[in-house]
Amino acid sequence: MIVKNIKIIASLSLLWPLISYAGCNQFELYNNIDRERLWEDFSYLASDKMQGRKNQSSGSFLAQEFLISRFSEIGLKSFTQEQKYRLPFRYETTFSHVDGVNIGGYFIGKTFPQKFIVITAHYDHLGMRGNKIFNGADDNASGVAGLLAIAEKIAQQGAEHSIIFLATDAEEKGLYGSRAFVENPPVELSQIKYNLNLDMISQNQGKSRLYVSGARYYLPFKEVIAQATDEAGLCLVNQHRRNRRGSAMAFGPDWRKASDHASFGKVDIPYLFVGVGEHIYYHTEKDTVESVDPDFFQAAVETSFNILKLMDKLTE
């Protein structure tokens, strides 16, 4: 996730409204995904071998090969036979350009084959700084592993809409992968109905809360969130929290622009963004697999899958 570091003055925290999250310290598992494979994918993407998956690095290329192998194993269709899931892009900046490779595949829907839901998760991270590896377990090996687990479920069950599974590159540099995708999509932009973005879904920091944002901008999503909240095995909170929205003293990230969903929102494609809040491991070398609660992570992926199923039921 791309968020600028912001120093928060401790005294300002007193302005934060007191909100009670009943039952947020407990969660249950439905065991409707392959837990062992989820953890295997997650651990490999966040391993030292990947060297932090920085855009255009050897670790990035290794991550691409892994994702291509998994997409093929799951049975996703490729948009081109020549590139085999690779969607390379070059994004021009003011003084230079950014090269990258999105990895994308799809399943055809049963009822609405010409209408697409795009589920995104960025696979790039910060790479290495000196001898320190920024593994990016939560940010965002977690989202990519969740995407793969959900793809396996759709392969088994199918979906009403066609589903594009998109692992984006160069998100940390400025959402360049998702921006390139919406500017040059492999299907007509008008065929893309919704985006579900998974970014940082594993780190509960003892709070057992998962946030989902975007429903306030698209009325049909309100019922999706209401039902997903009732059915979630953890505490699902509508909207990421930011201190005193609209206030001159507001602090924290603008979650509308914090990850790849912003690129879809910019072209008026309704989105839901699933993730945890900021935490002490964010963009540090301590964002590792060892810091993650496996049960919370599984519950978060199960809930994300349920949100996708509810989005898929929408016919508007």
**pLDDT tens-digit series, residues 232-269:** 999 999 998 764 444 444 556 787 888 999 999 999 99
Query: What b-and-e string marks burial along 198-220, b requiring 16 or more CB atoms within 10 Å of the CB?
Result: bbbbbbbbebbbbbbbbbeebee
What pLDDT shows up at residue 81? 85
Domain assignment present for residue 9? The answer is no
Domain assignment present for residue 200? The answer is yes
What pLDDT shows up at residue 45? 98
Domain assignment present for residue 188? The answer is yes
Q: Map tokens 């062992």 to a residue.
A: 36
| Residue 170, number of CB atoms within 10 A of its CB | 26
What pLDDT shows up at residue 131? 95
Domain assignment present for residue 15? The answer is no
Strand partners, 40: none
Is the pTM higher than 0.85? The answer reads yes
- Residue (of 169, 179, 167) closest to 264 by Cα position: 179
pLDDT at 14 over 60: no
Segments forming the whole domain that contains residue 229: 30-313
Domain assignment present for residue 109? The answer is yes
Q: Give how far Cα 283 sits from Cα of 48, 63, 200, 201, Å.
A: 15, 19, 11, 15
Domain assignment present for residue 23? The answer is no
- Per-residue pLDDT of 174-218, as tens digits, reads 999 999 999 999 999 999 999 999 999 999 877 789 999 999 999
What pLDDT shows up at residue 169? 98
Domain assignment present for residue 223? The answer is yes
Average per-residue pLDDT in the chain? 90
Domain assignment present for residue 261? The answer is yes
Domain total in the chain: 1
Q: How many CA atoms lie within 13 A of 67 on its CB side?
A: 35
CATH, residue 52: 3.40.630.10
- Number of separate helices (H) and strands (E) present in the chain: 8, 10
